[in-house]
Chain A
Amino acid sequence: EIVLTQSPATLSLSPGERATLSCRASQSVSSYLAWYQQKPGQAPRLLIYDASNRATGIPARFSGSGSGTDFTLTISSLEPEDFAVYYCQQRSNFFTFGGGTKVEIK
């Protein structure tokens, strides 16, 4: 089973700041990596697929990069609605999710 490790577990930032979230895979997942955002009481929402492609309707301040085992989700300037939990997910070997990174207001 491919394990995804997300860091940091919690990121404390202010609106307008840049957020950088990391996801590391225990073995290569090529570019089969997606990112999701989940707010309290809501279902997750697909943000990024295939490592760097924004899903429909996702603002340009969200970007993804990486390949192989190291991936990054960047939010260029945090808006109030961006404070949430973010998960990465791989599809190289079945499906697994990372443990999540909570982006909280500092």
Chain B
Amino acid sequence: DVKVTQSSRYLVKRTGEKVFLECVQDMDHENMFWYRQDPGLGLRLIYFSYDVKMKEKGDIPEGYSVSREKKERFSLILESASTNQTSMYLCASSRRLAGESYNEQFFGPGTRLTVL
């Protein structure tokens, strides 16, 4: 079974703190993703990475950065947390396949971040 794990289920931080959210997958997937989930807004892509040290911005990258130093690990960084970043953060991973094959995204359990 594919396993995607996230370092914390719940996190409480203060405004202005630097926050690290960690995600690890054990299936040697090339692609990794960070989403933000808010009620009434669904899931929105923050950043994704298609290889080690490679990253691309998603739909809402402002206020976030990412790091992918190893294939299995993808970190989301909030440089200076703000209250409007209070949300559920979901990590996902998928294989990168040649041609036009489908590559399912597998999700982690999520980290519920509260910024006070």
Our verdict on whether A and B bind, yes or no, reads no
- Chain A residues engaging chain B, CB cutoff 8 angstroms: none
- Chain B residues engaging chain A, CB cutoff 8 angstroms: none
